[in-house]
Amino acid sequence: MSIRLYGLPGSHPTMAVQAMLERKGIEFTRIDLVPFLSRVVVRKGMRLPENSVPVIAVGGRRVQGSRNIARELDRLRTEPPLFPDDPEKRLAVEEAERWGEEELQHPVRQLSLWAMRTNPAPIRGYMERPIMGVPPPIAARLAPPFIGRGVRVNEASDEAVQANLAALDPMLGQIEEWIAAAVLDGEDLNAADFQIGASVRLLLTFRDLRPLIEDRPACRLARRAVPRYAGDTPPVFRPAWLGRLRSKATTP
Ligand SMILES: N[C@@H](CCC(=O)N[C@@H](CS)C(=O)NCC(=O)O)C(=O)O
């Protein structure tokens, strides 16, 4: 089976799919596109309905979207499964997965784009391979205008980032409720573990956030689901925006 995974450097849903492929032991080649330009490649070049990655190409077919891809991977290789057999447990995993994609993924994307626009120096660290044939050192230097467009289309404003940072503690709390209920972080990792884990794992590449959250169960799950995530961003967020997380981290 030959699979190509199309993504973007640093993209957390792409990393979720990569981790699911690795979990299943399916061989794949990852191809990273240029941020923002990827929209044209995916919509016009691949004729897919959405303008986002991840996309996998398998046997002449393309599947778009991290949740669709999780189901496709279970069809392609049943073991180990990404969803439980038991219908009730499956529903709970699907709800956590939906939340991970619809509620958590975008705020994390906004934080990451805003940070890359504010300080482009760390961008190179998120690039693990050539970007559409362009070597990472050159691609990183060419990236800022594309990141700027990404910031605009994803509405990664100061206000959004401030609100997302304030919402982070309750979001991690929600993940930890699912961990306590054994929906997440069970014996076998499921699609929701990868969906959510990849987002939290990207948060752990931010030096502002890492010391405030890394001891939390949600972050242990993230490191389990995605042991390695390239990239490291020095402090970038305004200290006042971290107030809520800071007070939570110091409260026993
Ligand atoms: N929620 C979808 C979409 C993911 C998504 O928005 N991907 C971003 C990268 S993290 C993207 O393709 N962005 C292109 C752009 O904003 O120009 C999924 O999980 O597959």
pLDDT score recorded for residue 203: 98
Does the pLDDT value for residue 206 go beyond 90?
yes
Does the pLDDT value for residue 1 go beyond 80?
no
**Of all atoms in ligand 1, which is nearest to the CA of residue 153?**
16
**Most distant CA pair in the chain: distance in Å?**
54
Burial of 5 (C-beta count, 10 Å sphere; 0-12/13-18/19+): buried
Distance 224 CA to ligand 1 centre (A): 23
pLDDT score recorded for residue 243: 84
> Atom 6 in ligand 1: which residue has the minimum CA distance?
52
Q: pLDDT over 90 for what percent of the chain?
A: 93
Going by C-alpha positions, the residue among 12, 230, 240 that lies closest to residue 126 is 230
Structure confidence at residue 248 as a pLDDT band (50, 70, 90): confident
**Of all atoms in ligand 1, which is nearest to the CA of residue 68?**
20
The alpha-helical segments, DSSP class H, found in the chain are: 12-24, 38-40, 66-76, 87-99, 105-118, 136-153, 158-180, 191-203, 210-213, 217-225, 243-250
Tell me what the mean pLDDT of segment 209-230 comes to.
97
Tell me what the mean pLDDT of segment 162-176 comes to.
97
pLDDT score recorded for residue 2: 83
Q: pLDDT over 70 for what percent of the chain?
A: 99
Distance 54 CA to ligand 1 centre (A): 7
pLDDT score recorded for residue 252: 57
**Side-chain half-sphere CA neighbours of 75 within 13 A:** 8
DSSP 126: G
Tell me what the mean pLDDT of segment 201-229 comes to.
97
Angle, helices 105-118/191-203, rounded to nearest 10 degrees: 30
> What residues are in contact with ligand 1 under a 6 Å CB criterion?
8, 11-13, 36, 38-39, 52-54, 65-66, 101, 105, 109, 150, 153-154
Does the pLDDT value for residue 244 go beyond 90?
no
Q: What mean pLDDT is reported for the chain? A: 96
**Of all atoms in ligand 1, which is nearest to the CA of residue 65?**
20
Give the global pTM.
Answer: 0.97
Distance 181 CA to ligand 1 centre (A): 29
Does the pLDDT value for residue 202 go beyond 80?
yes
> Atom 13 in ligand 1: which residue has the minimum CA distance?
52
Convert the pLDDT of each residue in 89-100 to its tens digit. 999 999 999 999
- Residues, the chain: 252
Does the pLDDT value for residue 64 go beyond 80?
yes
Does the pLDDT value for residue 102 go beyond 60?
yes
Structure confidence at residue 123 as a pLDDT band (50, 70, 90): very high
R_g of the chain, CA atoms, integer Å: 18
Tell me what the mean pLDDT of segment 145-166 comes to.
96
Going by C-alpha positions, the residue among 199, 223, 193 that lies closest to residue 92 is 193
**Of all atoms in ligand 1, which is nearest to the CA of residue 149?**
17
**Of all atoms in ligand 1, which is nearest to the CA of residue 105?**
1
Best of 44, 53, 203 for a ligand 1 pocket test (most atoms within 8 Å of beta carbon): 53
> Atom 3 in ligand 1: which residue has the minimum CA distance?
52
Distance 106 CA to ligand 1 centre (A): 8
Tell me what the mean pLDDT of segment 107-114 comes to.
98
Structure confidence at residue 251 as a pLDDT band (50, 70, 90): low
Going by C-alpha positions, the residue among 190, 182, 179, 181 that lies closest to residue 220 is 179
Instruction: Tell me the C-alpha distance between 161 and 208, whole Å.
Output: 13
Convert the pLDDT of each residue in 36-47 to its tens digit. 889 999 999 999
DSSP 132: T
pLDDT score recorded for residue 246: 86
**Beta carbons within 8 Å of 27's beta carbon, 6+ residues apart:** 1, 2, 3
